[in-house]
Structure 1
């Protein structure tokens, strides 16, 4: 008989996972509705949100660099979720359209996918690995929801192509780094051991091409309604 994970380990679709999925959806709705109804406090709330993102993630980033925690395969902020929280912090603080684009596309597609099929082999709450993984992902999704439906930012085709170029560049860079360091950042050099949507996309390297194609298609579908609404609004007679 196989030996399962320890009793205190995180189990996909166990009680803690369902709680986090509820937090993912519920928190996104709350920040979006709050932001939409309280545009008068938008600058203060938005920058306070940026401070929360930094206050949560920066200490954990420093913690991972300590000698007792250092692991070249895990400690470097090279996963896409690491770049996503950095982009979210910049977007929240500045409303910069390019930082927002990365937050929007990564936060509403790739980050939720990582939460639905989490590659997490760690003790359950309140272990630091658990808190880091889930907190890092939650704040990015919440930031994307707030900036879009709360603060009123909108994606454009220019931002779409920027996000596509950055993401493809990151994939190539991680392939090179992983080959040099013997790591697997972003799972671009091999699939995660846990079941994931990548299992439906074929073996390496074919799943990379399929993943990029699906992401670009999904992002285009997310962009088109906003650009259509904007075009219709501009076309209305005075």
Structure 2
């Protein structure tokens, strides 16, 4: 999703310039969007048992949601190309939430249980942080605004749906597995960064406009600090969601 979205584990905290077209963090628009997303999550939890009773009839809905996520992301890349913003150095789907979005789409289409842990931990963890501290150059009602919030919300809802509705029970083993997968991806992303002069996942340098990475030590030690932060976030998600699937199934 490139430089025109929040790079999730980079935790950039700029708030925009206050113009009409610039998204401003913690503005009325931002808070309203977060409240709307929170209401959808509460609604999903509230209706979880009714949905579970009809879970075998929800395949078409799962596929439709997956295709909508795919369609809006393809449209986003078309928009980047048409506006001259697409580039190998910042538009490849190599950020954590870009990868999580792809995994979420495949999970919804296939139901492959081996993908659920990554969506629950890396997906929900990264998307929540991105929604809380987004960096957008376009405000409501621009397409980019809807793309950002729709895709990140879609990742969160997918993970929660497979726990609350489909009865998947997250485990600490899933936390460890997700951490291993991310670390297995890092050498690949580092190599791509070198080839295209990119900075995906901030593996080459910190963001120049300042971020919470400034509190995590100098390069390359802040990468280890991010590993610790990710592990803590994943563990908190596991503690909050453990046994929730088991309880629904009973």
Contact 1:117 1:196 in 2 (8 A): no
> For structure 2, which runs of at least 5 residues remain unmatched after alignment?
1-15
> Which one has more relative contact order, counting CA pairs under 8 Å at least 6 apart?
2
Alignment map for 1:46-65 (pairs within 5 Å):
46-65=62-81
Q: Report the secondary structure of 2:47's partner residue.
A: helix
TM-score (norm 2): 0.78
For 1:24 and 1:184, the matched residues in 2 are separated by 30
For 1:5 and 1:184, the matched residues in 2 are separated by 27
Contact 2:164 2:244 in 1 (8 A): no
For 1:7 and 1:222, the matched residues in 2 are separated by 36
Q: After superposing the two structures, state which structure 1 stretch, 220-229 or 107-116, moved more.
A: 220-229
The alpha-carbon deviation at position 83 of structure 1 amounts to 0.9
Partner of 1:8: 21
Aligned to 2:188, which of 170, 173, 198? 173
Alignment map for 1:41-190 (pairs within 5 Å):
41-42=54-55, 43-44=58-59, 45-65=61-81, 68-120=84-136, 122-190=137-205
In structure 2, the CA distance between the partners of 1:140 and 1:194, relative to structure 1 (3 Å rule), is: farther
For 1:189 and 1:54, the matched residues in 2 are separated by 29
For 1:81 and 1:229, the matched residues in 2 are separated by 24
Count of residue correspondences = 229
Alignment map for 1:188-227 (pairs within 5 Å):
188-193=203-208, 196-223=211-238
Give the CA RMSD over aligned residues: 2.9
The alpha-carbon deviation at position 184 of structure 1 amounts to 1.4
Contact 2:66 2:108 in 1 (8 A): yes
The alpha-carbon deviation at position 21 of structure 1 amounts to 1.4
Q: Report the secondary structure of 2:70's partner residue.
A: helix
Which of the two has higher C-alpha Rg? Answer: 1
In structure 2, the CA distance between the partners of 1:38 and 1:129, relative to structure 1 (3 Å rule), is: closer
TM-score (norm 1): 0.81
> For structure 1, which runs of at least 5 residues remain unmatched after alignment?
232-238
CA distances 1:171-208 after superposition (whole Å, capped 9, x unpaired): 33222222332211122323335564433322222221
